[in-house]
């Protein structure tokens, strides 16, 4: 007589973000699952890799929508002017998905150049999607190398920017300080279904909480360059004279690219982590979960505002599901971590002995962390 099949002891949802420039969200989820199964092979593991509009957005949507097809845009202009390969995603309903990080992201820079970095490649990929007949656009904004308010991308789509002598402006956020006139007459129109921006921050365009002062230092900007970029964003918004408020939450996403597309293409700004969580079915998966494991490369204060981990913590609290966090690095003290609310938090850098080792070779440490979490659950 065949013995009855035992039901899984528990359902564990694994929903990490990517570890930037190290592992995709799918790869992170797979390593965590592999480590967990070594200890608790009978558990049901539900892998739901996440993204928030930044790196990994194409992957997350491709996994979530049947019939999504990856398209090659060929060589486009990288953020530092060198060529890079552009890609986008065509969905069955004619929507094109473009990820800024894939073609204009910070890891594509050979050397830091916060004032010269541009989003031109993003516009070239969008142009390729429009040429292919895209009816609607989803643009993932996050992980940008530039602080140019999307000027490079918009110029690739036909916007022309001039200085006071009538010369075309150079690419990059620093050059926006010389902007005197903008000509939109040759700009391509947006697709008929509209343009929607998936953002991972709530920063405004300029000022104390703006794109430059908040994020340009992470892109290699000096204190003087931060102020230069901030004034360039201000000048760009004043020169374009549109009704889009620079104080709109999320306008500062991707170095102000969200504001540029909202101003010239009437694009809608959407919280990327929330949108992609719904698309992936994460809220539904949580209705039957006993634990959710999430993670990212660095867990800090910004993780709680528009990012994957912050959204997972919110959803888990709503569904009364405990959260285990695995991060390459945890930049919180004990009190801050307690207020952030994960039930358990493990740092790969502590397991590996250094941040560099953890991010250079995260796979074995992800498995180790997963085994540790599973051992804890085994005792429950």
Closest to 235 measured CA to CA, from 157, 117, 147: 147
Do the Cβ atoms of 254 and 150 come closer than 8 Å?
yes
Q: Which CATH class, in words, describes the domain spanning 11-48+281-378?
A: alpha beta
Residue spans of the domains in the chain: they are: 11-48+281-378, 57-273
Digit-by-digit pLDDT tens for the chain (380 residues) are: 455 555 458 999 999 999 987 899 999 999 999 999 999 999 999 999 999 999 999 999 999 999 999 999 999 999 999 999 999 999 999 999 999 999 999 999 999 999 999 999 999 999 999 999 999 999 999 999 999 999 999 999 999 999 999 999 999 999 999 999 999 999 999 999 999 999 999 999 999 999 999 999 999 999 999 999 999 999 999 999 899 999 999 999 999 999 999 999 999 999 999 999 999 999 999 999 999 999 999 999 889 989 999 999 999 999 999 999 999 999 987 677 777 778 899 999 999 999 899 988 999 999 999 999 999 998 77
**Whole-structure pTM value:** 0.93
Label each residue of the chain as H, E or C: CCCCCCCCCCEEEECCCCECCCECHHHHHHHHHHHHHHHCCCCEEEECCCCCCCCCHHHHHHHHCCCCEEEEEEEEECCCCCEEEEEEEECCCCEEEEEHHHHHEHHHCCCCCCCCCCCHHHHHHHHHHHHCCCCEEEEEECCECCCCCCHHHHHHCCCEEECCCCCECCCCCHHHHHCCEEECCCCCCCCCCCEEEEECCCCECCCCCEHHHHHHHHHCCCHHHHHHHHHHHHHHHHHHCCCCCCCCCCCCHHHHHHHHHHHHHCCEEEEHHHHHHHHHCHHHHHCCCCEEEEEEEEECHHHHCCCHHHHHHHHHHHCCCCEEEEEEEECCCHHHHHHHCCCEEEEHHHHHCCHHHHHHCHHHHHHHHHHHHHHHHHCC
pLDDT value of residue 338: 74
pLDDT value of residue 201: 94
Q: Which CATH superfamily is domain 57-273 in?
A: Glycerate kinase, domain 2 (3.90.1510.10)
pLDDT value of residue 3: 52
């Amino acid at each position: 007589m065949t013995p009855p099949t035992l039901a899984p002891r528990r359902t564990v949802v694994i929903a990490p973000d990517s570890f930037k420039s190290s592992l995709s969200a799918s790869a992170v989820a797979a390593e965590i699952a592999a480590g967990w199964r070594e200890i608790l092979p009978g558990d049901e593991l539900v892998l739901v890799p996440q993204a928030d509009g930044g790196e990994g957005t194409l992957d997350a949507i491709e996994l979530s929508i049947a019939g999504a097809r990856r398209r090659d845009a060929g060589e486009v202009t990288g953020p530092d002017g060198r060529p890079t390969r552009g890609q986008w995603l065509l969905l069955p309903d004619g929507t094109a998905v473009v990820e800024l990080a894939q073609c204009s992201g910070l890891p594509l820079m050979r050397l830091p150049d916060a004032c010269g970095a541009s989003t031109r490649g993003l516009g070239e990929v969008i142009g390729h999607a429009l040429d292919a007949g895209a009816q609607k656009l989803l643009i993932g904004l996050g992980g940008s190398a530039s602080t140019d308010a999307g000027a490079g991308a918009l110029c690739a789509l036909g916007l022309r920017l001039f200085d006071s002598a009538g010369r075309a402006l150079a690419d990059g956020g620093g050059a926006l300080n010389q902007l005197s006139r903008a000509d939109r007459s040759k700009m391509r129109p947006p697709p008929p279904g509209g343009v929607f921006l998936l953002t991972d921050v709530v920063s405004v365009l300029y000022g104390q909480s703006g794109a430059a002062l908040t994020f340009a230092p992470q892109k290699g900007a000096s204190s003087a360059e931060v102020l230069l970029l901030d004034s360039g964003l201000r000048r760009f918004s004043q020169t374009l004279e549109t009704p889009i408020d620079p104080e709109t939450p999320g306008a500062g996403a991707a170095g102000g690219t969200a504001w540029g597309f909202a101003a010239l293409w009437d694009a809608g700004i959407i919280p990327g982590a929330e949108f992609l969580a719904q698309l992936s079915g994460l809220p539904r998966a949580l209705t039957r979960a006993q634990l959710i494991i999430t993670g990212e490369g660095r867990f800090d204060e910004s993780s709680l505002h528009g990012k994957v981990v912050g959204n997972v913590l919110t959803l888990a609290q709503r569904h009364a599901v405990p959260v285990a966090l695995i991060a390459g690095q945890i930049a919180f003290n004990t009190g801050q971590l307690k207020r952030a609310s994960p039930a358990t938090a493990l740092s790969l850098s502590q397991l590996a002995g250094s941040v560099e080792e953890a991010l250079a070779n995260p796979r074995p440490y992800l498995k180790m962390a997963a085994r540790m979490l599973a051992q804890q659950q085994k005792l429950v």
